[in-house]
Structures are given as C-alpha cells and as structure tokens.
C-alpha cells in the first residue's frame, strides 16, 4: 500500500462532499476521490456558447427567510458555515393540465395553498387542510427523531407523534382517500410526485408528506450562483481543514478482506489503504462492480440490491434563448405540464420513447435568478423523468435522431401549454438522455433518483434496517441511494450522517490499533 487514510470518500456529489467535509472537520485524515474533472456530481454547471446551464433541478426547501431557515439550509449557513448565498423562488409552481384545461399558480404557504385549491375545487377546503396538517405532523415527527436519535424513546414517539406511526405503512393515495380529498384537489397537490418518481398509489406517505410540507410551508430557494456554488464552498472548506482532494481519479476496486474494508485501487494500479470507505455511488454499483475480491460480498447484499426498484433517470432539454423572459412571455420559475395528473398512468410513460403523455417539470432559471444569463436572454430547462429501459432498442446509429424526437415533443408540449414561441429564439440547445447522465456520473443506468421510496423502502424502513445492511465493516453510503432517499438536501444530510458513523467506527479501529482485523 502506498498511502494510508482514516477515511476515503468515493465521489464528490453533494453526499460525498458533505461526508468528506464532516470527516475532515472531525480530525480524520480524509481523501476525496472524483473521476470527473470538477466536483459536485449533478450539482455542477456546463457552458454552451454564452450560457451556463444547471444539469439538474436544484431547489432547496424550508426557508421562509435567512433568519427562519430550518433543515439543510440552517445546516449549510450555521453549522457548516459555508460561504453561499440563496435566491428565493416566488411561487411553488404553475400547474398546466392540458386535457382538463387546468392552469393555476400554486403559492407557498399552507393557508395560501388551501385557499387556492378551495377556490379551484369548491368544497375541498376542510379535507385539504386536514391533509396538510397531517403532512406537518409527519414533518415534526422526523425533526423529533433527528433531535433524539441518540436516546430515542419509542413510547414517547407514539405518544407525541401517533399519526406518524399510524401512517407509516400507508401510501400517499391511501391517506388522501381516508381524508376524502377530492380527486380534483389531489391533482393540484400532486405535481411534486415527479421529484420522487413514484406514483401516488405506491409512494410512502412518510416521505411524500415530508417533501410536500417542506416546500409548501416554508418556500424554496436556489443557490445564488448556481448549484456549483454549493460544491465549491464545500471543497474550499474541506481543503482548508486539511482534506486531500483528487480529480480525474477513477476507483476500480474497493478492497476487502475477511469482511472488512482494507483500501481502494485506482485505475492506474495505485493502492490506498483505509479501514473506512464512504461511497457516494450506489450499493448497486459497489456490490456488483467494485468490491474485490467479489467473494467478500455476502449473498444478502446481492439480495438487497436486487429487491429494490431503481428510480428515474432524466431527459432534459437545455435551451439558451435569445430573448428575455418578458419578451418570450415566461412569468414563472417552475412549470409542471402534463395532460392529466393520474400518476399511475404518467409513471409508465417514462419507460417508452413513444409516449405522448409526458409530464415535464421545467424551470426558467431567470425568474429565480435574473442575472443567470446575459441581458436579453433566457435559460429554460425542460425535464422529464425517464427509465433507461426506454432506450433498450435504440442503436448508436439512431440515438441522436431519437433524442431529437423526444426533445421536439417536449418543446412543442411547452409551447402549446404556455402559449409561447421557443423555436424561433433557440440560440443554444443541449439534450441529455439517461446515457448522458450515466457517462457524466457513472451512475447505474444514469439513475438520478436513487431507489424508489415505496412504503416498504421508505425512510423509516431504511433507518430501522441500517444496522442489518452493514454488509462489510468500514463501508458506508451517502447520496441519493442512502437511507435519506434522493434530493439535494437529503444527499447533503446523508453525507453528514455517514461521517458521524465513520467517526465512531474510526475511533473503534484506532482502539484496535490496526483496522485490518476481522
């Protein structure tokens, strides 16, 4: 072995950045390895012509104001003390359902939301308010669990947060049915489902309600200087704390012996010694491709990754337009556009390139960040969830044509729904398919959304089974495939949690004196 570290972190996505930052802050000799030529994973940017685009959607919820910020925002500003700024999003979203003629702007704030829905769907006020109150109860329960993680009293959880326990095994659809929320009202509440990529009848109510409450109750923000601002701020503090960071460095093997991590091997053959690896890449990648020798992977680990459902990748059309939002007629930051809001029908559409009923979650970045592009121009990103299997029959010869076909459908869908002309003003266009994201991050099938958070695989089951899934001593996971599920905020906080687990294990390894014992 050429070098020895207390912890090696694989991948500088937001989870890996959070883990590396926290490990170095705790005094561990930490090495962060990244195969790309810049940090951030999906939290980066790329340039085409005079436009700088965001690879992915990147709103962070829970921020009424700097003073009242909670959750991950509070962590970034106060605990981590990162040098970042945020810009507020004016409204939650504009929802356009073309088959029903629905076109409504949904505001932040529960009272505002309930008022808007009751105006659109008369007679729904009581049921929608009860639904949102229950979402708040679940969010409060999660905060309680986080605050009392070290001395959790389950009787107290049941006493204080009984509805959290009662709905723990329920889907979002089952809870809405039990509260008699009208279908038309649910249509207005459901657009954020595509941030989880699981239809209403399968998604865990626990994670769905937490997401919905976090956005609606507190508003959302975006990094002032794009998502790469977060990545750069993490790297800056990590290096200042003594951490070591290597770009353009690919890990080909995670080395193990007698059930314990012993190091990693790089593409050039260099071996690095460590008793602890934190992986920002998925368990699917790690157990099927990286652990060496493969015999060290327990059969239970293979059963685990085979049982879970892999989430969405994305199809994104990045547009640099030669007119301002005002000139184009774009007034909103976030657009959800679909023919209807039947999530059971929309979900399968991501498995086919011939689908016409596409749901897109699209963003005009200038509305949230007016200075993001040159004066008189606009950055617009049209995004749809997509499964890699949609491309199974596409050949290299037809790949570009099929990409352009899907992009054309999405551009036309947006133009007709919003009533604007985009085609005449396209100065730059870039199209990303699941294959693009697979090459960009080496994620399995280009997956952006981690494992699907169904009821049996939501946050609560993942937390309860964490210890059972420690298949190799010294191996921890963070990022979108971890117990906190996917999303920018979840990924960051999963990195913090992985670092805390690594620190405790490092202390135990240090006490043994070697770290390579079985």
User: Do the Cβ atoms of 226 and 488 come closer than 8 Å?
Assistant: no
Domain assignment present for residue 72? The answer is no
- Shared domain for 303 and 363, answered yes or no, is no
User: Do the Cβ atoms of 42 and 54 come closer than 8 Å?
Assistant: no
Domain assignment present for residue 31? The answer is yes
Neighbours of 454 (CB within 10 A): 18
* The residue count for the chain: 518
Cα distance between residue 494 and residue 513, in whole Å: 28
- Shared domain for 453 and 439, answered yes or no, is no
Domain assignment present for residue 56? The answer is no
Find, among 113, 97, 73, 75, the residue nearest to 213 by Cα.
113
| Domain end (from 220, 242, 265) | 220
- Shared domain for 439 and 454, answered yes or no, is no
Question: Domain containing 352 — which CATH number?
Answer: 3.90.660.20
Domain that holds residue 201: 111-220
Cα distance between residue 416 and residue 424, in whole Å: 14
pLDDT averaged per 10 residues, the chain (length 518):
86 95 96 94 93 85 51 86 90 96 96 98 98 93 75 77 88 97 97 94 93 89 89 96 96 97 96 96 94 97 93 95 98 97 94 87 95 97 93 94 95 97 98 92 86 86 81 94 83 92 86 54
Domain assignment present for residue 267? The answer is yes
Domain count, the chain: 3
- Shared domain for 385 and 438, answered yes or no, is yes
- Shared domain for 276 and 376, answered yes or no, is no
Neighbours of 123 (CB within 10 A): 10
Domain assignment present for residue 135? The answer is yes
Q: How far is CA 42 from CA 318, 399, 409, in A?
A: 14, 23, 25
Q: What is the DSSP string of 319-382?
A: EEESS-HHHHT---SEEEEES---HHHHHHHTT-TT-S---EEEEEHHHH-TTSS-TT-EEEEE
266 burial via Cβ count (<10 Å: 0-12, 13-18, 19+): middle
At 62 the pLDDT is 61
- Shared domain for 419 and 463, answered yes or no, is no
Q: How far is CA 382 from CA 358, 456, 458, 490, in A?
A: 11, 32, 28, 23
Domain assignment present for residue 86? The answer is no
- Shared domain for 454 and 305, answered yes or no, is yes
Q: Could you tell me the pTM of the whole model?
A: 0.92
Cα distance between residue 242 and residue 249, in whole Å: 19
Q: How far is CA 488 from CA 17, 41, 378, 492, in A?
A: 12, 11, 24, 6
- Shared domain for 328 and 436, answered yes or no, is yes
At 484 the pLDDT is 77
- Shared domain for 122 and 201, answered yes or no, is yes
Cα distance between residue 447 and residue 440, in whole Å: 11
| Domain end (from 393, 428, 444) | 444
Domain assignment present for residue 475? The answer is yes
- Listed in order, strand segments (DSSP E) in 36-139 are 46-48, 51-53, 60-61, 86-88, 93-97, 102-106
| Domain end (from 411, 426, 444) | 444
Domain assignment present for residue 152? The answer is yes
- Shared domain for 125 and 171, answered yes or no, is yes
508 burial via Cβ count (<10 Å: 0-12, 13-18, 19+): exposed
Cα distance between residue 29 and residue 11, in whole Å: 17
- Shared domain for 373 and 496, answered yes or no, is no
Triad 230, 195, 363: Cα angle to 5°: 65
- Shared domain for 134 and 203, answered yes or no, is yes
119: CB partners within 8 A, 6+ apart: none
């Amino acid at each position: 072995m050429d070098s020895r570290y207390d912890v090696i972190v694989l991948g500088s996505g937001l989870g890996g950045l959070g883990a590396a930052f926290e490990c170095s802050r705790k005094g561990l000799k930490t090495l962060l390895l990244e195969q790309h030529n810049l940090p951030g994973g999906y939290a980066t940017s790329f340039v085409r012509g005079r436009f700088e685009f965001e690879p992915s959607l990147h709103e962070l919820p829970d921020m009424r104001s700097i003073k009242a910020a909670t959750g991950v925002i509070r962590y970034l500003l106060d605990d981590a003390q990162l040098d970042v700024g945020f810009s507020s999003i004016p409204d939650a979203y504009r929802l356009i359902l073309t088959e029903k003629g629905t076109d409504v702007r949904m505001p932040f704030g529960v009272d505002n939301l309930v008022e808007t829905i009751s105006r659109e769907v008369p007679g729904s006020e009581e049921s929608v308010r009860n639904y949102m109150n229950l979402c708040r109860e679940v969010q409060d329960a999660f905060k309680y669990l986080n605050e009392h993680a070290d001395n959790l009293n389950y009787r107290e959880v049941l006493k204080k947060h009984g509805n959290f326990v009662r709905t723990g095994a329920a889907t979002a659809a089952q809870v809405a049915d039990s509260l008699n929320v009208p279908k038309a009202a649910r249509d207005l509440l459901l657009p954020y489902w595509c941030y989880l990529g699981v239809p209403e009848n399968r998604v865990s109510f626990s994670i769905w309600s937490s997401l919905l409450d976090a956005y609606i109750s507190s508003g959302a923000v975006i990094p002032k200087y794009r998502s790469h601002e977060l990545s750069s701020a993490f790297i800056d503090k990590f290096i200042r704390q003594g951490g070591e960071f290597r770009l353009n460095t690919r890990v080909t093997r995670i080395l193990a012996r007698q059930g314990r991590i012993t190091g990693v091997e790089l593409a050039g053959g260099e071996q690095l010694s460590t008793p602890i690896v934190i992986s920002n890449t998925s368990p699917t990648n790690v157990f099927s491709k990286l652990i060496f020798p493969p015999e060290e992977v327990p059969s239970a680990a293979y059963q685990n990754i085979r049982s879970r459902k892999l989430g969405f990748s994305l199809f994104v059309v990045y547009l640099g337009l030669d007119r301002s939002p005002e000139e184009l007629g774009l007034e909103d930051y976030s657009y959800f556009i679909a023919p209807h809001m039947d999530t059971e029908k929309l979900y399968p559409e991501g498995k086919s390139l011939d689908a016409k009923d596409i749901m897109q979650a699209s963003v005009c970045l200038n509305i949230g960040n007016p200075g993001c592009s040159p004066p008189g121009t606009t950055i617009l990103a049209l995004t749809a969830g997509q499964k890699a299997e949609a491309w199974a029959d596409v050949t290299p010869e037809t790949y570009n044509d099929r990409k352009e076909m899907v992009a054309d459908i999405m551009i036309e869908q947006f133009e007709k729904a919003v009533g604007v002309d985009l085609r005449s003003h396209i100065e730059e266009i870039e199209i990303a398919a699941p294959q693009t994201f697979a090459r960009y991050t080496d994620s399995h099938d280009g997956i952006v959304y981690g494992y699907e958070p169904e009821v049996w695989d939501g946050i609560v089951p993942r937390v309860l089974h964490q210890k059972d899934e420690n298949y190799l001593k010294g191996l921890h996971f963070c990022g979108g495939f971890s117990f906190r599920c996917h999303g920018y905020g979840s990924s960051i906080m999963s990195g913090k949690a992985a670092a805390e687990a690594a620190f405790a294990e490092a202390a135990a390894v240090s006490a043994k004196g070697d770290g390579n014992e079985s």
